[in-house]
């Protein structure tokens, strides 16, 4: 450690509960709240000294905070050498010019982890920015990435893209963790149009 965990405000309590369940002995501090509350945390947990903002060492092994606090108190986090960073809702970093992405890239971080359910639904540029955030040494050129995977209509390129990203992604699929799910069954049920739709449908087509 220390580890910085950045989450949405609405999930802070969920993260606190899970840390209490899975790592009850870990010293965890939730950095959030009004300015006075955050000052007290810095004075007693971040070894900043009374009245100062910049920290070099901190007591907690995990600091749980929100995206808003990351950008608002960037100078506090920037002065700490983080062993690891975990970003919940990691697809927020798909825009490399967003304030959160730019701010996090100024921090000293050894390991980076993004938690997201939608990395493969993003377009090519957004996927590159996510990969480049966690491995800037491997994914350093957007132009090269675009050139290599510009024609994703071909099955071969799609497979190559999956292979390129596979070492940096851990995907959890339903079929891998829920063995009791029955096979998918599709049933086509023809339904006639109601009168209103019957009137509008040909009108939309002809006009």
Please report the pLDDT score of residue 122 as a whole number: 63
Percent of the chain with pLDDT over 70: 91
Please report the pLDDT score of residue 55 as a whole number: 58
Please report the pLDDT score of residue 116 as a whole number: 85
**Which strands, in side-by-side order, build the sheet including 28-31?**
28-31, 62-66, 3-7, 81-88, 108-115
Please report the pLDDT score of residue 121 as a whole number: 62
Please report the pLDDT score of residue 112 as a whole number: 94
Predicted confidence band of residue 195 (pLDDT cuts 50, 70, 90): very high
Residue 107 pLDDT > 80: yes
Q: What is the pTM of this model?
A: 0.75
Residue 51 pLDDT > 60: no
Please report the pLDDT score of residue 119 as a whole number: 59
Residue 79 pLDDT > 70: yes
Average pLDDT over residues 68-77: 92
Predicted confidence band of residue 49 (pLDDT cuts 50, 70, 90): low
3-state secondary structure of 179: coil
Beta bridge partners of 7: 66
Nearest to 134 by CA among 72, 91, 75: 91
Average pLDDT over the chain, rounded to an integer = 86
Nearest to 67 by CA among 92, 46, 48: 92
Of the two residues 189 and 47, the one the predictor is more confident about is: 189
């Amino acid at each position: 450690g220390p580890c910085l965990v950045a989450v949405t405000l609405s999930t802070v309590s969920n993260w606190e509960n899970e840390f209490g369940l899975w790592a009850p002995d870990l010293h965890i501090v939730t950095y959030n709240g009004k300015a006075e509350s955050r000052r007290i945390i810095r004075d007693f947990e971040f070894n900043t000294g009374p009245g100062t903002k910049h920290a070099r060492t901190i007591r907690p092994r995990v600091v749980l905070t929100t995206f808003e606090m990351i950008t608002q108190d960037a100078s506090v986090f920037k002065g700490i050498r983080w062993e690891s960073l975990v970003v919940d809702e990691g697809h927020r970093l798909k825009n490399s010019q967003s304030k959160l992405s730019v701010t996090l890239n100024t921090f000293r971080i050894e390991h980076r982890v993004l938690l997201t359910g939608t990395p493969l639904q993003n377009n090519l540029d957004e996927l590159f920015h996510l990969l480049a955030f966690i491995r800037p040494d491997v994914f350093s050129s957007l132009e090269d990435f675009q050139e290599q995977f510009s024609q994703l209509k071909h099955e071969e390129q799609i497979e190559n893209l999956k292979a390129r990203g596979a070492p940096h992604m851990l995907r959890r699929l339903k079929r891998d963790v829920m063995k009791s799910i029955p096979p998918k069954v599709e049933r086509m049920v023809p339904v006639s149009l109601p009168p209103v739709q019957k009137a509008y449908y040909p009108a939309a087509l002809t006009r």
